[in-house]
Amino acid sequence: MAKEQQKAFHHRASLKQKNKPFKRRFASKNSLRDKSKGRTQRASVKGKVLRKHSRADRRNAMRTEQRKKREQIVLSTRIFNGRYRAPKIVAVIPLCPDLDPSSIVRDLYQCVDEKYPESALKTARVLDIARFKQTIQFVEVGRNLLDILDAAKVADYMIMGLSAEVEVDAFGEHCLSAIQNQGHAGVFPVVRGLESVPTKRRNDVKKSLQSFMHHFFPDVDRVHTTESPTESLAILRMLTSQVPKGIKWRDSRPYLMAENLQFEPSAEDPLLGRLALTGYLRGANISANRLIHIPNFGDFQIERILNVPVAMEDAKGNAIEEDDEPTVLDQPDPAHQDSLVDSNEPNQLNNEQTWPEDEEMDGWREQMAKMEEDERMLAGDGERTLRVPKGTSTYQAAWIADNNAGEGSDSSDYSDEDDSDMMDDSDSDDASEENAEEYENMRVDKDGKPTNNGGVNSMEDDDEEEHDDENDNMLTAAEEAAQLKAYLKERERLNRDDLQFPDEIDTPMDMTARERFARFRGLQSFRTSPWDPYENLPLDYARIFQFESFKRTQQRVVRMVDNAPTKAGMHIRIILKAVPAQVAASYNPNRPFVVFGLHQHEHQMSVVNFTVVRNAEYIEPVRSKDPLVIHFGFRRYNVRPIFSQYLNGGATTNNVHKFERFLKPGEVSVGTIFAPIQFGTVPVSLYLPSSASDGDSSSRLPTLVGTGSSLSVDPSRILAKRVILTGAPFKIHTRGAVIRYMFFNPEDINWFKPVQLFTKYGRTGHITESLGTHGYMKCMFDGPIKQMDTVCMNLYKRVFPKWNTSLWSEHSQNEEQQAQWVGPVVERPVAMDL
């Protein structure tokens, strides 16, 4: 009986009870939402048996991942391995004025028992390390910021030279900031002169320098030295064994650092000719149909690309010589080669055509009648009257040929058109008064020469009068300094007012508001109100290029690089055509000469937007349309950007962004310029074009205004300039109030009646009617307003950048401007081996 109780009988139930689902009278919001989206219930997988991976399966998956990673490493380092390997570029940058970069390279040569090539160029000292099966090309850069930036753009590694005796000066810190902003490869800080420091203080010096470098490059974990061959060999081992850290914006396009340069002038024009550049191609592949950008000189077409073989013994030595005859790798296809045309020719016939009105026809008839009368007077012996600006001398009047010179100059348009470009709205009325000139009549003879009381003028008297006028217009040094001080003080005042009362202006009393703000409009919502991006575009927008889908074009253009015939890592010679002779004349073999390949369409002009953050160390006001020098990736331009707000959440519904008069500190802004198209994200740095030099070395440094990166190429991005008209409450009764000081006549009130009002305390309202004739108006709000509140009205006008972008060239600067990019150097005696 006990055994029977221990054996329990169990059987599988053939039938299972299935309860009905709960019946809701009303469906839930979630179920209705899912049903409207077409979502279906997923079948349960509870009863299914999941297959468990065995140990062998997991091991195979791990080996597959390892193989993929190894293949990626081999692809990234294949150009540095093999028989005809390309050398790794190592830029040696001195950060201290007493440091010579050749001393660091000399120690690295001696640690592998190689002789330092004194006769070789500073940019072409190639060291072959047989034990590591690697080749290193050292680029010794002087204390020139342009050379340092160019070398950092193409370097696989950078050796930052530090001194144990002299601290890093302002120029060295500026170089570190510039390299940090544009992107960099691996960094190896090397300190020199530790043997002159007491033994007990050497560790403290190294820790201090390590902390200093860690501030700019957080990946730096130690500071190296080259005092002993062991430490120098450790540096070479790290340079040869590590995989170079890539720069995304650089590696997506081909680039080349020229080993030598050959120029052949053309027979038709000796100022133009063919330029041959020899070197190792790096980055991406290149096609002969694309263009080549040479810094300081612009873009050029490729005539052909040659393969230049390198002898085995010379490929690893200090001299690179040809072993065989070069062979042609690629030649451009005339049907697919990129053109040097960077802008379209606008067709004036495509503009809106309107029939002239009667008033315009009457003015044209009067002008034609005056022209006929002038012709009759010139044909005879009579005199005529010339209208010239008041104070014009007789010599100056002789050059004025138009009888309506004074009448034809329209200064009224400046107060509103140029107000959005170069001036603040509060200054527009003053500018219009300054531009208005008084005119007077002057008698001239039939030859157009001014007469003096019916007599003939003496040329000597005219010269004396002109000389006196020039002397009167000349300012002394004290007067120029006073005017400059007043100008800077006015800029500071405008910047301060813009920070305290952004966009607020006073309604002018000498002209109607509907005329002053004729081009402005009111918006119900700045974010969602519709605004046609192709409405009233300036003529410059007919010259640019625009893509139907910029992202799709960028993907297609980048994929074209993979199919280019000339592969990265090859030793090639690029022959350019129609290159100015100035390129060869300015070539310095001891300075890095770097060229970059362009993608398709990157030579064409468009509206380029970039983000910018103001430099905290620069405290002077930066205004929209101020002249600046932009370092845009591998390009440099003279620009006058206009700034606007940056939205973290992306573009608004109507793609409207608020224009900023000043570059505000601590905020991310967007700069807009006309510039060549740039695919991908590239770093951006803004510098002042020049700065005064008063003998102090720190004042000669280039002034960094701001840094950022490229944002988009979007001509449809609307920049809306806002002005705020303010008024004060006069009488308040519940929700209604009488407002004054916003307008000064009832016509303006009726004109701006549809625009919505708001107060600084958060109330919204609208204008109901005008009261009296002095600009009082009755308004209704959504609630009672306070007596100390301010009533505001927003008006908007679209602004556009100006076509003033030009290529910045180092050779076009004067000696004082070129000296700003060069840091001070302290000469030290070189220790000789006895």
Kindly report, residue by residue over 354-390, the tens digit of the pLDDT: 556 666 667 777 777 777 776 666 555 556 666 666 6
pLDDT at 431: 44
Of 727, 718, 739, 743, the residue nearest 796 (C-alpha): 718
CB atoms within 10 A of CB 270: 9
Do residues 657 and 718 touch, judged by C-beta distance below 8 A? yes
What pLDDT, in 10s, does the model give residues 325-360? 788 999 999 999 999 998 888 877 666 555 566 666
pLDDT at 428: 47
- Write out the E strands in 114-268: 125-129, 134-140, 157-163, 186-192, 224-225, 255-257, 260-265
Q: Which domains does the chain have, with CATH numbers?
A: 76-249 (3.40.50.300), 255-344+560-582 (no CATH), 359-474 (no CATH), 505-518+722-798 (2.40.10.190)
CA distances to 284, 334, 338, 553 from 562, rounded to whole Å, are: 7, 21, 18, 15
Say if residue 48's pLDDT is above 90. no
Least confident of 109-118, 209-218, 401-410, 780-789: 401-410
Q: Which two tokens stand for residue 663?
A: 């570059």
Q: Residue 450 has what DSSP assignment?
A: B
Tell me, rounded to whole angstroms, the distance of Cα 784 from its chain centroid.
48
Query: Is residue 596 very low, low, confident or very high in pLDDT (cuts 50, 70, 90)?
Result: very high
What pLDDT, in 10s, does the model give residues 636-674? 999 999 999 998 766 778 889 999 999 988 899 999 999
Q: Which two tokens stand for residue 124?
A: 């072409």
pLDDT at 423: 44
Tell me, rounded to whole angstroms, the distance of Cα 419 from its chain centroid.
24
Rounded Cα–Cα distance for residues 226 and 194 (Å): 10
Do residues 728 and 796 touch, judged by C-beta distance below 8 A? no
Least confident of 307-316, 462-471, 556-565: 462-471
Rounded Cα–Cα distance for residues 790 and 81 (Å): 73
CB atoms within 10 A of CB 162: 28
pLDDT at 31: 79
Rounded Cα–Cα distance for residues 97 and 302 (Å): 41
CA distances to 8, 361, 373, 402, 753 from 367, rounded to whole Å, are: 122, 10, 10, 11, 40
Q: What is the DSSP string of 180-205?
A: HHH---EEEEEEE-GGGS-HHHHHHH
pLDDT at 805: 92
Give the H/E segment covering residue 608: strand 605-614
Which amino acid is residue 694, in one-letter code?
Answer: D
Query: What value, to the nearest 5°, has the Cα angle with vertex 766 and ends 763 and 767?
Result: 135
Higher pLDDT, 2 or 387: 387
Say if residue 425's pLDDT is above 80. no
What pLDDT, in 10s, does the model give residues 114-172? 888 887 788 888 998 888 888 999 999 988 899 999 999 999 999 999 998 888 988 99
Of 101, 117, 82, 105, the residue nearest 239 (C-alpha): 105
Rounded Cα–Cα distance for residues 27 and 33 (Å): 10
CA 495, 496, 499, 502 torsion-angle sign:
negative
Q: Which two tokens stand for residue 351?
A: 């503009």
Of 678, 599, 668, 666, the residue nearest 637 (C-alpha): 678
Say if residue 323's pLDDT is above 50. no
Of 111, 106, 90, 99, the residue nearest 194 (C-alpha): 99
Q: Which two tokens stand for residue 242?
A: 């590590």
Q: Is 83 helix (H, G, I), strand (E, B) or coil?
A: coil
Which amino acid is residue 526, in one-letter code?
Answer: F
Rounded (10°) CA dihedral 284, 289, 290, 291:
130
Give the H/E segment covering residue 637: strand 635-639
> What b/e readout covers 29-62, taking b as 16+ CB neighbours within 10 angstroms?
eeeeeeeeeeeeeeeeeeeeeeeeeeeeeeeeee
Do residues 187 and 161 touch, judged by C-beta distance below 8 A? no
Rounded Cα–Cα distance for residues 305 and 276 (Å): 9
pLDDT at 130: 86
Least confident of 99-108, 241-250, 332-341, 686-695: 686-695
CA distances to 91, 117, 139, 831 from 102, rounded to whole Å, are: 11, 10, 10, 12
The pLDDT > 90 percentage for the chain reads 40
pLDDT at 750: 92
Higher pLDDT, 529 or 457: 529
Rounded Cα–Cα distance for residues 55 and 53 (Å): 7
Rounded Cα–Cα distance for residues 634 and 632 (Å): 6
pLDDT at 604: 93
The residues, any chain, with a CB within 8 Å of residue 436's CB and separated by 6 or more, are 411
Do residues 630 and 639 touch, judged by C-beta distance below 8 A? yes
- For the chain, how far is it from start to end, CA to CA, in angstroms? 112
Which amino acid is residue 90, in one-letter code?
Answer: V
pLDDT at 490: 74
Say if residue 457's pLDDT is above 60. no
Query: What value, to the nearest 5°, has the Cα angle with vertex 336 and ends 334 and 338?
Result: 90
> Is 825 exposed, middle or buried, given 0-12, 13-18 or 19+ CB atoms closer than 10 A?
middle
Query: Is residue 305 very low, low, confident or very high in pLDDT (cuts 50, 70, 90)?
Result: very high
The pLDDT > 70 percentage for the chain reads 77
What strands, in cross-sheet order, belong to the sheet with 224-225? 125-129, 134-140, 88-94, 157-163, 186-192, 224-225
- Where helices occur in 404-549 by DSSP H, the ranges are 405-408, 414-417, 428-435, 459-473, 477-500, 513-516
Mean pLDDT of 503-525: 89
Query: Is residue 466 very low, low, confident or very high in pLDDT (cuts 50, 70, 90)?
Result: very low
Q: What are the residues facing 274 on neighbouring strands?
A: 264
Least confident of 489-498, 643-652, 702-711: 489-498
Mean pLDDT of 175-202: 89
Higher pLDDT, 272 or 38: 272
Rounded Cα–Cα distance for residues 99 and 105 (Å): 12
Q: Give phi and psi for 128, each to the nearest 5.
A: -100, 125
The whole model's pTM is what?
Answer: 0.74
Tell me, rounded to whole angstroms, the distance of Cα 132 from its chain centroid.
42
Of 161, 146, 144, the residue nearest 92 (C-alpha): 161
Of 101, 89, 79, the residue nearest 136 (C-alpha): 89
Which amino acid is residue 594, in one-letter code?
Answer: V
Query: Is residue 29 very low, low, confident or very high in pLDDT (cuts 50, 70, 90)?
Result: confident
Say if residue 91's pLDDT is above 90. yes
In a 13 Å sphere around the CA of 435, the CA atoms on its Cβ side amount to: 14
Which amino acid is residue 711, in one-letter code?
Answer: L
CA distances to 17, 303, 325 from 328, rounded to whole Å, are: 82, 11, 10
Query: Is residue 427 very low, low, confident or very high in pLDDT (cuts 50, 70, 90)?
Result: very low
Say if residue 215's pLDDT is above 50. yes
Query: Is residue 634 very low, low, confident or very high in pLDDT (cuts 50, 70, 90)?
Result: very high
pLDDT at 683: 94
Q: Residue 78 has what DSSP assignment?
A: G
Query: Is residue 440 very low, low, confident or very high in pLDDT (cuts 50, 70, 90)?
Result: low
Q: Residue 699 has what DSSP assignment?
A: G
Q: Which two tokens stand for residue 710?
A: 């490229």
Do residues 526 and 647 touch, judged by C-beta distance below 8 A? no
Q: Which two tokens stand for residue 428?
A: 């527009």
Do residues 699 and 692 touch, judged by C-beta distance below 8 A? yes
pLDDT at 505: 86
Query: What value, to the nearest 5°, has the Cα angle with vertex 572 and ends 121 and 238?
Result: 60
Do residues 574 and 277 touch, judged by C-beta distance below 8 A? yes
The residues, any chain, with a CB within 8 Å of residue 391's CB and separated by 6 or more, are none
Give the H/E segment covering residue 307: strand 298-307
pLDDT at 410: 40
pLDDT at 387: 65
Of 262, 232, 378, the residue nearest 322 (C-alpha): 262
In a 13 Å sphere around the CA of 498, the CA atoms on its Cβ side amount to: 23
Q: What are the residues facing 686 on neighbouring strands?
A: 630, 706
Q: Residue 133 has what DSSP assignment?
A: T
Mean pLDDT of 776-802: 93
pLDDT at 722: 93
Do residues 429 and 415 touch, judged by C-beta distance below 8 A? yes
